[in-house]
Chain A
Amino acid sequence: MRGKVPFRAVLRSEWSKLRSVRAPWWCSAIYLLVVGGAGWLAAAGTDTAPSAAVATSIALTGFGVGQVVLVVLGVLAVTVEFSSGMALASLTAVPRRTRLLVAKTLVVAVWCALLSLFLVVVCVLAAHVQTAVPGGMSMRDPDVLRALALQVGAAALTGVLAVGLGAVLRSTAGAVGAGLALVLLLPPALALSGGSWQVRLSQALPALRVGEDAFLAAATTWQVGMAVIGAWAVAAWVLGAVLLERRDV
């Protein structure tokens, strides 16, 4: 009975929170449907591809739009606490606020990663079944594996970014709006406007199709893509944690 409450207790509580309301289930279902459906259709529309990497990349197209759902899921995990008033109870129960945010972030990030892991397998399967590739498709192809790992990692980071935005802005509309602008609207808008600094800026914005085919945005290498989304996620999260500690509930 003595001693500090173990961190896994807070983690378990946050996991229960996510499971016990409907919104995360809706978000997850839509994510699976959009990304899985788009992947299957894209693969179905591609009879042949020059390499397994290209076939995989095509099948993963849906992630470009699907990330929107992850932004909503991550933002809601935080903002619903404030809009419902639950934050009063949550922060009274766990007054070490950063601890609470770490637990919430871990739950969201792991959930995003698990959903995405399932989806990349579905997408590769779609390519394997529907797209003819010289030499055949294999999950063990390093190019394919790298694309899959990047997608799962980027999904987790998008979740972290969304949680951070939620903690900074506290409003669902504000945080979802900011998240969509960052990951969906600005990267292609800037890239399409064409100037060289706009393209640079576009490359410095987080996008779930790290590197690869950047969903209308200016492409980068995957290393740069991961670094960019990682930097945004960490920055938003740290700012969110600092503000959460400082502000009144």
Chain B
Amino acid sequence: MIEIEGLTKAYRSRIAVDDLTVTVEPGRVTGFLGPNGSGKTTTMRCILGLTRPTAGTATVLGRPYRELAQPMRRVGALIDPRARHGGRTAYAHLRVLAQSNAVPQRRVDEVIELVGLGPVAHERVRGFSLGMAQRLGIAVALLGDPDVLVLDEPVNGLDPEGIRWMRELLRDLADEGRTVLVSSHLMSEMEATADHLVVLGQGRLLADLPMTDLLGRHAAVRVRSPQASLLARALERAGAAVDYEPDGSLWIEGMDVVEVGDVAYLSGLRVHELTQITASLESAYLALTQDELEYQAVPL
């Protein structure tokens, strides 16, 4: 479990994280979303004790990260795939980090095979592609078989096979009861992986809710009817928001298919199509952050 309370990080000219309070629960994958510069990485660095907050606290398993007795066995972190010395081999890189936490040598062999770097284990990491560097970073995170994972953009640079592997890995880790906090810009990927979402905008908490809630909130119903204008009026009287689509069908928000069907039946109107439209995470996310931007633009 990760607990963040009133976390604030101010740099000289801007506030990166603004009074953030959120709890990341174990047993599920928590997706960490937000536009560029919204404070995701800064928050993760504060969790790991790499950045000192201006105010507030971040604790992992009840303690500040810097006070953990066996950091790598408690928390696995991937902050930057370039966090390595180019002159070391993948194997040497993992070995020096494993040694620093008294993680046995055979675990190095295990994780190197697990992330698929076996064939290049003894090559210098300088020549690694971004995807290979990411895999090495994930290997570092998994070295101590930790209870908590903090991963910043882990699928960045991975090939499709790697992305699927990552998705399954995160799923398995969460199912084993671990805490998984993962940020990503790939919305379709996040939609397939995360159970819960934490969304930041300009350093502040925009949303902290289960994935299904956010998607449900932005769901819609499409209706095709030869009596569209009559149906639209009936639906609006019943409290729905109705839009006309270019093809003449109606786009209804605020009601599900059952309610729309009942309204049509009670009004004695014919319906040719009645479709539940599930929102994509991308559209729901954009609507959420767009609201925030508009809110920001209004002077109070």
Contact = CB atoms under 8 A, between A and B. Distances in A.
Contacts of B71: 5, 92-95
Given A13-B99, A21-B85, A93-B71, A88 B79 contact: yes
A84 B101 contact: no
B97 A13 contact: yes
Nearest to B126: A84
B87 A88 contact: no
Nearest to A20: B92
B142 to A, nearest CB: 13
B14 to A, nearest CB: 15
SS class, residues of chain A in contact with chain B: helix
A77 B40 CA distance: 31
B140 A89 contact: yes
Contact of B100 (A3, A94, A248): A94
Contact of B95 (A9, A16, A23, A246): A16
B73 interface: yes
B65 interface: yes
The 4 closest A-B pairs by CB, nearest first: A13-B100, A88-B83, A13-B99, A9-B102
Contact of A9 (B83, B84, B101): B101
B70 A4 contact: yes
Chain A interface: which size bin? 35 or more
Interface stretch (B48-56, B183-191, B234-242, B279-287): B48-56
A91 B83 CA distance: 11
B96 A84 contact: no
A118 B68 CA distance: 41
Contact of A16 (B82, B96, B102): B96
B168 interface: no
Nearest to B102: A9
B86 A249 contact: no
Interface in B286-300: none
19 contacts: A5-B102, A6-B102, A9-B99, A9-B102, A16-B92, A16-B99, A22-B87, A84-B85, A89-B83, A89-B97, A89-B140, A91-B50, A93-B72, A94-B100, A95-B49, A95-B65, A100-B100, A246-B52, A249-B50
Nearest to B136: A89
Contact of A4 (B69, B86, B88, B95): B69
Given A6-B102, A100-B100, 19 more contacts: A3-B70, A4-B69, A5-B71, A9-B99, A9-B100, A12-B99, A13-B96, A14-B100, A21-B88, A80-B85, A86-B83, A88-B79, A88-B83, A90-B100, A93-B97, A94-B101, A95-B48, A246-B52, A248-B51
Interface of A: 1-6, 9-10, 12-14, 16-17, 20-23, 80-81, 84-96, 100, 246, 248-249
A97 B127 CA distance: 30
Nearest to B79: A88
A20 B84 CA distance: 12
A17 B51 contact: no
A243 B292 CA distance: 38
A234 to B, nearest CB: 25
Contacts of B79: 88, 92
Query: Which of B51, B68, B97 has the most A CB atoms < 10 Å from its CB?
Result: B97
A84 B86 contact: yes
B50 A92 contact: yes
A223 to B, nearest CB: 39
SS class, residues of chain B in contact with chain A: loop
A10 B84 contact: no
B80 interface: yes
B164 interface: no
Nearest to A9: B102
A96 B85 CA distance: 21
Contacts of B86: 84
Nearest to B101: A5
Given A20-B96, A22-B87, A248-B51, A95 B82 contact: no
Contacts of B233: none
Contact of B96 (A5, A17, A85): A17
Nearest to B98: A13
A246 B50 CA distance: 10
B62 to A, nearest CB: 16
B281 to A, nearest CB: 29
Nearest to B48: A92
B73 A1 contact: yes
Interface string B105-127: 00000000000000000000000
A88 B72 CA distance: 13
Contacts of B217: none
B137 to A, nearest CB: 8
A3 B69 contact: yes
Contacts of A96: 66
A226 B93 CA distance: 37
A27 B163 CA distance: 42
B77 interface: yes
A6 B69 CA distance: 10
